[in-house]
Copies of this chain bind each other. A is one copy, B any other.
Amino acid sequence: MSKAKSNLQIDSTRLWNDIHETAKFGATPKGGVRRLTLGAEDKQVRDWFRAACEAAGCEVRVDALGTMFALRPGRDMSKAPIGIGSHLDTQPTGGKYDGILGTLAALEVVRAMNDAGIETEAPICVCNWTNEEGSRYAPAMMASAAYAGEYTTENILGRKDIDGVTVAEALDTIGYHGAEPVGKQKFSAFVELHIEQGPILEAENKTIGVVDRGQGIMWYDGVITGFASHAGTTPMPLRRDALAAFAEFVLVVEKLAKELGPNAAGTVGEIIIDNPSRNVIPGDLKFTADIRSSESATLDKLHSDLQAAIEEISKRRKVTIELNQVWRKEPTVFDTKLVAAVENASKELGYSNRRITSGAGHDACNLATVMPAAMIFVPCKDGISHNEIEDATQADCAAGANVLLHTVLSLAGIASSTNTNS
């Protein structure tokens, strides 16, 4: 990367305006966005995005699951393009940055190349993946999962929302049921810019997160069976209190995750007592747990330590604890060369940076199973996401887009005809 090239910048104001322009599609009174996948507002933003990509000289195609591919030609069209982008759908009470930053920054990268008169060797493909959020249709990240071969297209097309509308029907309704088979568009690499959705970059005052891993996830459903009895008449030593056993489980999850930190997280997010009453010792309850780590071996250890802990708790408290693993997703290891390219771009642009693990799932995590992939994080205020108050600064958004631009340039290569000093 030449010094001259590192002076190339995206247009920060244009990107910022695009983010706020598209936030009107599904704007909420509290300043957030409600843009459920394949709904009326999603059609509005898709139409805007298609027009903007076409205006930037891209050819836009749509696959059978509605994912949009905007191709900027390269000098050598025999090369598979560098994919960049993210998603434009939001949570029911989502923010203006989650997914949107990465998609609009990808568009801005193309515009910046256009403005600078840069031709790349390989083509560039700006992507808007369908249903990353999973709020209207399960699973989350369904289009990239299908792309990666985890589901068939037919399986995903048949999924229904809460009103019984299938993905196929919703795609037809908004006119985004594309002809192109899922997976036909090949990439030589994929790079996704995203807000961190966590507090680490902000806490450490770093501008860029060089994402080298994505956490693996284990989901559990649990049932504890003790014995419901009278709070006044049952002596403490004779109790078989399901809630007290649950309390120990919650603290064990926390303790194990802390001990294996910082590369582990453990959360109990749900508990329901059967027939709860103020003066009845809880006899039966259900709960869920979410355990994560960027290391498979750590997931294994957390799993076996949890089993040992519940066995001990069950025995001592004379209750039964069922803990069923209902999902396990292996950690994502992003491509070493792509991660290095992101890190180099950050350094050459002079942004403070650190390696980071993605705590959340992203389309890039699915794509990483079938191609070299990487991610770039920028800070978000207080680490808050999936919330209408989600916030990020114009400077950080621009920094992330600049890192994306220079990463893509290094991956795609600049055609010799381009004047890099322009």
Residues of B within 8 A of A271 (CB): 243, 271, 273, 276
Q: Which 10 A-B pairs have the closest CB atoms?
A: A198-B233, A233-B359, A232-B359, A231-B267, A247-B247, A247-B250, A270-B276, A278-B288, A232-B360, A231-B290
A278-B269 contact, Cβ under 8 Å, with A230-B198, A231-B290: yes
Q: Does A268 contact B (CB under 8 A)?
A: yes
- Which residues in chain A, 366-415, are within 8 Å of chain B measured between CB atoms? 383-386
State the CA gap A276–B251 with chains docked (Å).
Answer: 18
Complex CA distance for A167 and B97, rounded to whole angstroms:
58
Interface pair A258/B237, CB less than 8 Å apart: yes
**Complex formed: what's the CA distance from A219 to B231 in Å?**
11
Is residue A62 contacting chain B, with contact meaning CB distance below 8 A? no
Partner of A230, one of B266, B281, B385: B385
A to B CB contacts below 8 Å, 7 in the list: A198-B230, A199-B238, A233-B358, A233-B359, A236-B264, A241-B267, A270-B277
Copies of this chain, how many? 2
Beta-carbon contact of B290 and A278 below 8 Å: yes
Docked pose: A203 CA to B233 CA in angstroms: 13
Check A197 for interface membership: any CB of B closer than 8 A. Answer: yes
Contacts of A81 in B (CB 8 A): none
The reply to whether the CB of A244 lies closer than 8 angstroms to some CB of chain B is: yes
Contact indicator A232/B292 (Cβ below 8 Å): yes
Q: How many Å lie between the Cα of A36 and that of B107 in the bound state?
A: 69
A268 to chain B, nearest CB (A): 6
* Chain B residues whose C-beta falls within 8 Å of the C-beta of A247 in the assembled complex: 246-248, 250-251
Pairwise interchain contact A233-B385, C-beta atoms closer than 8 A: yes
Partner of A270, one of B203, B258, B268, B278: B278
Q: How far is the CB of A406 from chain B (nearest CB, A)?
A: 26
Q: A243–B267 Cα gap in the complex (Å)?
A: 9
Give the CA-CA distance A270 to B277 in the complex, in Å.
6
Query: Is A261 interfacial (CB-CB < 8 Å)?
Result: yes
Whether A265 contacts B235 by the Cβ 8 Å rule is yes
A33 CA to B163 CA, complexed, in Å: 42
The reply on A280 being an interface residue by CB < 8 A is: yes
Interface size on A, residues (CB 8 A): 60
Q: A271-B273, A278-B219, A279-B290 are in contact. Are A198 and B234 (CB under 8 A)?
A: yes
Instruction: Establish whether residues A230 and B386, one from each chain, have CB atoms under 8 Å apart when the complex forms.
Output: yes
Q: Which of B236, B269, B360 is within 8 Å of A282, CB to CB?
A: B269
* A298: interface (CB < 8 Å): no
A254 at the interface (CB under 8 A from B): yes
Q: Give Cα distance in the complex from A258 to B230, angstroms.
A: 16
Interface residue A361 (Cβ < 8 Å from any Cβ of B): yes
Q: How far is the CA of A255 from the CA of B337 in the complex (A)?
A: 55
Q: Which residues of B contact A384 (CB under 8 A)?
A: 229
Does residue A29 face the partner (Cβ distance < 8 Å to B)? Answer: no
A196 interface contact, C-beta 8 A? yes
How distant is the Cα of A229 from the Cα of B382 in the complex, in angstroms? 10
- Whether the pair A280, B269 counts as a contact (CB closer than 8 A) is yes
A 282-303 contacts with B by CB, 8 A:
282, 288-290, 292
CB neighbours (8 Å) of A282 from chain B are 268-269
Question: Do A265 and B244 touch across chains, with their CB atoms under 8 A apart?
Answer: no
Specify which of B234, B269, B359 is in contact with A383 (CB 8 Å cutoff): B234
Residue of chain B at shortest CB distance from A199: B238
The answer to whether A383 and B233 touch across the interface, beta carbons within 8 angstroms, is yes
Q: How far is the CB of A175 from chain B (nearest CB, A)?
A: 32
* A229 → B minimal CB distance (Å): 7
